[in-house]
Structure 1
Amino acid sequence: MPVVLGVLLLVVSWQVAADGPLLGLDRWTQHAVREVRHALPGTLLDHLGEALSDLGGGPVAVSVLLLGAAVAAGRELRAGFAHWWLPLPVAVLTAGAIPLLVVPAKAWFARPGPSGLPLAADQWGWYPSGHTATAALGYGVAALLLARAAGPRTRRLLAAGAALLVAGVGLGLVWSDYHWLLDVVASWCAGGLVLWALARWPLTGRAGQDAGDGPPGAA
């Protein structure tokens, strides 16, 4: 999995930097989405796309990350884990790392957005998608932290919920014409690599006490 994600990220980044033929996929996807949008009656899917896109904003995703860390720390404290406080600094560090990972890449690639307009002097660029990366790390790390004191079924539900949210944000951005498809794919790959590494790190992996579907003594 990390090899596939890493290779895909490198290929996409190379194509964006070189304005390669793979960018035709972006233009084809944009045209197809616009055709579908114009053919559908009503604006329900447009509103859904906007709502899903907003879930990738910092105020929402980072708030969920910090709240998830607080809940995880509280559950581990009640369960008697020795290092119950670890989710809190991990969440804070993750929130601070998101712009450090995304903003330099946006500035370096300086990719214009789907509107086709050139970048303004105060714009960083569209590649990779910041909302998608924020969603991947915000919801993904929150799920990892909550999983520390959870049983197998709950861990699967947390992983599935985070994956659905991250996928929904990316698809909403493409549907709303806020981002190119490859902007989103790159952030999915980068976020997946970070989460894969964090899942194997003691601070976000299983806590030092086996648990059932919840910490002992928790409701």
Structure 2
Amino acid sequence: MQQTIAVPQRDLRPLLALMATAAAAVFAWLAVSTECGYSPAVYDPAVTAWAVRARHGLVTAVARPVTQLGGTLGLTLLTAAVCAFLLLRGHWRRALVLAGAMVGSSLLTVTLKLIFARARPSTALLLGDPASSWSFPSGHSFNTGVFVGVLAGFALVSTASPARKALAGIAACMAAAAVGLSRVYLAYHWLTDVLAGWAIALVWLCVVGIVSLTVLGPRQE
């Protein structure tokens, strides 16, 4: 009689902890650079000036809706739609993880902006309505990174083929990059705000991953 041997899943928590530590170090470096005027923050005005000079009607027409998708309203609607879809498919664990990740990132965004209180680029350069919140870190970059990162994470821990997992990761990176770069292009944020948003998004994704694996277990749906 042939015996089936269960192959234990690799514990990803040590790797996630290492990634979170590295990303937190990058975020801290960016935060110090903005507070003290060190590199790379010293190059922020030049990058913004270049983005303004490089503006083109077609790019602007794309950047505006892209940046809206990464805003509070856009991500709230997307999160609600995806959670509803997951619940209808019986994936309540995934819906819980996504909702919890997005609520946490939203609260963390507000907290960090109040802590650093960095001014945004001049409204004279802005393409759009002025924002009322502080600049560092970019909430659009942070929250979009968390949203697409969680979805990519679902694919990475699933039984999907390696090609589909790679495609999910690439799509998540491209979506996060598009929203973040649109913030610089439209002059809502400095480049270091966006880089910090991506860095803290990776930290938060790793924390969510560790908590999910610890509390909910590695079960795949």
Is 1:113 the equivalent of 2:139?
no
Structure 1 unmatched runs, 5+: 78-83, 210-214
Q: Does 1:208 align with 2:215?
A: no
How far apart, in 2, do the equivalents of 1:163 and 1:155 lie?
A: 13
Change in Cα spacing, 1:53 to 1:130, as seen in structure 2 (3 Å) is same
**TM superposition score normalised by structure 1:** 0.76
**Contact residue 111 and residue 126 of structure 1 kept, 8 A:** yes
1:65–1:142: 8 Å Cα contact kept in structure 2?
no
Counterpart position of 1:175: 185
* More off after superposition, 50-59 vs 199-208: 199-208
Structure 1 51/124 Cα, relative in aligned 2: closer, same or farther at 3 Å? closer
Give me the whole-angstrom Cα distance separating, in 2, the residues matched to 1:206 and 1:164: 29
What is the Cα deviation at residue 182 of structure 1?
A: 0.4
Helix, strand or coil: the match of 1:114?
A: coil
Q: Does 1:138 align with 2:147?
A: yes
RMSD of aligned Cα (Å): 2.7
Amino acid paired to 2:78? V
Unaligned 5+ segments in structure 2 are 1-18, 125-130
TM-score by length of 2: 0.76
Q: How does 1:1-219 map to 2 (within 5 A)?
A: 1-37=19-55, 40=56, 43-75=57-89, 77=90, 84-115=91-122, 123-145=132-154, 147-152=156-161, 153-200=163-210, 201-202=212-213, 208-209=219-220
1:8-36 deviation digits (Å, cap 9, x = unpaired): 21111012222335322101101211222
Runs of 4+ aligned structure 1 residues displaced above 6 Å come to 203-206
Distance 2:189 2:181 in 1: 9
Q: How many residues align?
A: 195
Paired residue secondary structure (1:44): helix
